A = this chain, B = another copy of it.
Amino acid sequence: MMTTILSEGVWTEVDGGNDTFQAIDPSTGERIEPAYPVCSWSDLERMAIASAAAVRHPANREPERIARFLEGYATRLDACREAIATMAHRETGLALEPRLRVVEFDRMLGQLRQAADAARDVGPDSWRLPIIDEATGIHSDRGPLGGAVLTIGPNNFPLAFHGVSGGDFASAIAAGNPVIAKGHPLHPGTGAMLAACAAEAVADAGLHPATVQFFHHCPPEDGLRLIGHPAIAAVGFTGSRAAGLALKAAADAAGKPSFLEMSSVNPVFALPGAVVGDAAGIGEAWAGSILMGAGQFCTKPGILIAIGGDAKPLLDAAVSTCGSAAPGVLFSAEASRALESGITAMIEAGADVHCGGNPADPGNRFEPTLLSVDGHRFLERFEVLSAERFGPVGLFVSASSIDEAIAIAERLEGQLTIAMYTGDGDDEVWDRLATVLRSRCGRLLENKMPTGVAVVPSMVHGGPYPATGHPGFTAVGMPTSIGRFSMARCWDGVAAGRLPDWLR
């Protein structure tokens, strides 16, 4: 598999691909064999052209066949659970138990199976939104986009958000689109194993062989060019803001929908009654949330704003929890360097360090780190102090008044989540803050840290720009997330025999 990509159902050599890359074990810093290919534009173009045939293949119009693929894929993955989870652990440094082998693996399988159910569902409440209007003969539904979806997953969920097995993949396939999935250069071995299962399941289900295509890596400019190819209909992406904005610009210029999960600091406000009521409990919960996955969750609560009074017990509890925790393993040496320079910038902007602050050995470890700053200073140096820092780092902000907290709320960019902790007497403060905060995030929480993202239909894992590219969608939750990769279709006066079954 070393120098190959999955193109039209077969593992084929890349064109002129002399460039290769290798994964590195982040817990030791050691290279992992083998080397994987960086593919060239001709490889991407070949996959794009092949996907156009999948779009028009009659078998790919059959909901039952799509559902069978998704289920068969989940079954094959489950059979390879040990090998895949072990590989993902080695390549990412994330805990094998229970995180990768159980929690994230089951989430990946659950999403694929929920997507299968959704693909099969042609009822009035399904994602197809069928409307039958006998009186006018005008019917409507949602259907595939007419091109391939390019899916690009992040470094931090190598299974449940992977381009070839995650929520974007499952959603795009369930809506009837072929997928061209890009792997992640930090976990290529995991991607290759996932894609191998997908290819077998595609063949079993009798879908067009280009229904799922996969490549490991490409020069960034070729990836942006691929978005403009006529055979590509949309992009699904989870990752950094810089990469997301580049993809967004390319998709916008080509007039194609993009669904991008880019960045979020997930602010937590501790209201006055909560600070008085359970400072230690909130501080411990905050620190625990920061430590999860070594602080590399898109829903990590990077900033906690405590309002009024003496919030020192809250900070003390968080520092106690973080200060006694072992260093976390970051995904790459680059991430460790970026975090170190980010902390330096925060200190220069006036933040105090209470624990941690430094990289640690072996590999890409980093000490759990807590900083603090007062609300006045936070507002003065808002850009640098409110930026997302990927890793086990949190900033405690002491707001001297409700008005200062509201001033902070008004400066916030679009977020995936915003949480408020409340206690006695906080109803009016909640109302004032919620008026500002509700439209600044996809998910508003009370007395709860945002790190966990339940895969339920009522979940919104999305939010206003720049958390994502569009406030109307969620990346998590079936069948809601499928809508992203579908188009609105109307059938006006079309003979019944030519309509999809669910509109007859």
List chain A positions with a Cβ less than 8 A from chain B. 55-56, 131-133, 136, 138-140, 143-147, 233, 248-249, 252, 254-257, 414, 417, 422, 427, 430-431, 434-436, 438-440, 442-448, 450, 454, 456-460, 462, 464-466, 469-474, 480, 483-484, 486-495, 497-498
Contacts and interface: CB of A to CB of B under 8 A. Distances in A.
Nearest to A420: B494
Contacts of A450: 492
B493 A257 contact: no
Contacts of A255: 414, 464-466, 469
30 contacts: A136-B456, A138-B454, A138-B459, A140-B459, A140-B460, A146-B438, A146-B439, A233-B439, A255-B414, A255-B466, A255-B469, A257-B471, A422-B495, A427-B497, A438-B489, A442-B487, A443-B489, A444-B489, A444-B491, A445-B493, A446-B495, A447-B493, A450-B492, A462-B488, A471-B488, A472-B483, A472-B484, A473-B488, A474-B490, A480-B488
A147 B436 CA distance: 11
Contacts of A248: 252
A458 B131 CA distance: 6
A460 B489 contact: yes
Contacts of A436: 56
A439 B149 CA distance: 14
Contacts of A492: 417, 443-446, 448, 450
Contacts of A444: 489-492, 494
A9 to B, nearest CB: 21
Contact of A136 (B454, B470, B474, B486): B454
Contacts of A439: 55, 143-147, 233, 487
Given A146-B438, A255-B465, A444-B492, A472 B486 contact: yes
B488 A472 contact: yes
Copies of this chain:
2
Contact of A456 (B138, B143, B438, B456): B138
A226 to B, nearest CB: 17
A133 B457 contact: yes
Q: Kindly name the residue among A143, A440, A490 whose own CB sees the greatest number of chain B CB atoms within 10 A.
A: A490
Given A143-B438, A147-B439, A472-B483, A488 B460 contact: yes
A461 to B, nearest CB: 8
Contacts of A490: 442-444, 458-460, 474
